[in-house]
Amino acid sequence: MQLLDGKATAKALKEDIAVSVAEIKAAGGRVPHLAAVLVGSDGGSKTYVNNKVVACEEIGFESTLIELSEDASEEELLALVDKLNNDDTIDGFIVQVPLPDQIDEDKVTLAIHPRKDVDGFHPENLGKMILGLPTHISATPNGIVELLKRNNIDTSGKHCVVVGRSNIVGTPMAILMSRNANPGNCTVTVVHSRTANMQEICASADILVVAIGKPEFITADMVKEGAVVIDVGTTRVPDESRPKGFRLTGDVDFEGVKDKCSYITPVPGGVGPMTIASLMQNTLNAINMS
């Protein structure tokens, strides 16, 4: 088994982006500027947003963190989105999900200008991705594609099983892996909570991408010998032996599966860092979008 080291691959991608930023600066241009909106004080969301701000600093982007209180209204957030859409000094922005119950996430997604939607969640960006047109591709699936590419994993003609069908991970992942591209050209099966023969389908995967948020759900009997396993899951499982009182746990039983597969992503240190690096790539691309 070889570890698919997302941390190292993300570092390499961020170094490439930093070179582009330095070139922009040297030419007298304005460096990319990412804004991140955090509503409430959920510990996980706060950590994710902070990691994104740190990544901006590492590669030379400008960043702005905007925090709204847990009881912020939908109108307040939509007004902020409108302001960011019209702020020419900001190239792209994200609104960290999940949002508090009083705010309709779909309304917020639709309100973000597609050019500034560096998370790639807006329907216009999803539609362009399906058509293979240049656009912002959802950061997590795009990060996984980049991880496969930079680690020379052959995907053509392989059976890729995507577990989970969310709009931000599973569904775009399935589309990207079935495209006529490299990585891509897979025969793709999507499985979800209503799938009858999960074990059998997963065990037939050459490439298994799991995004369900169920700690250690995928066990060795669901993994084919020599498969490439990508674990997207990040659940905080209580663990008093850890300083923070929890451990970040993937959707795959890593210990049980690791000796069976050819490659596997760790949690943490796999898909998470690639998502952030991919968000940075989208922000860099945003400066040339009209």
Residues that bind ligand NAP (CB under 6 A): 140, 163-166, 168-170, 191-194, 211-214, 232-235, 271-272, 275
CB 233: neighbour CB atoms within 10 A? 24
Closest CB to ligand NAP among residues 234, 282:
234
d(CA 54, CA 67): 16
CB of 102 to ligand NAP, least distance (A): 19
CB 28: neighbour CB atoms within 10 A? 6
CB of 270 to ligand NAP, least distance (A): 7
CA atoms within 13 A on the CB side of 51: 18
Closest CB to ligand NAP among residues 145, 212:
212
Cis peptide before 268 (omega within 30 of 0): yes
52 is catalytic: yes
d(CA 5, CA 268): 10
CB of 180 to ligand NAP, least distance (A): 25
96 is catalytic: yes
Closest CB to ligand NAP among residues 51, 185:
51
Long-range contacts of 165-169 (CB under 8 A, 24+ apart): 165/190, 165/192, 166/211, 167/121, 167/126, 168/97, 168/119, 168/121, 168/138, 168/140, 169/138, 169/140, 169/141, 169/211, 169/232
Q: Which of these is catalytic: 91, 117, 119, 253?
A: 119
In angstroms, how far is the first alpha carbon of the chain from the final one? Answer: 44
Q: Which of these is catalytic: 14, 52, 158, 224?
A: 52
Identify the residue whose tokens are 């795959």. Answer: 252
Q: Which of these is catalytic: 91, 96, 116, 158?
A: 96
Closest CB to ligand NAP among residues 87, 159:
159
CB of 168 to ligand NAP, least distance (A): 5
Q: Which residues are catalytic?
A: 52, 96, 119
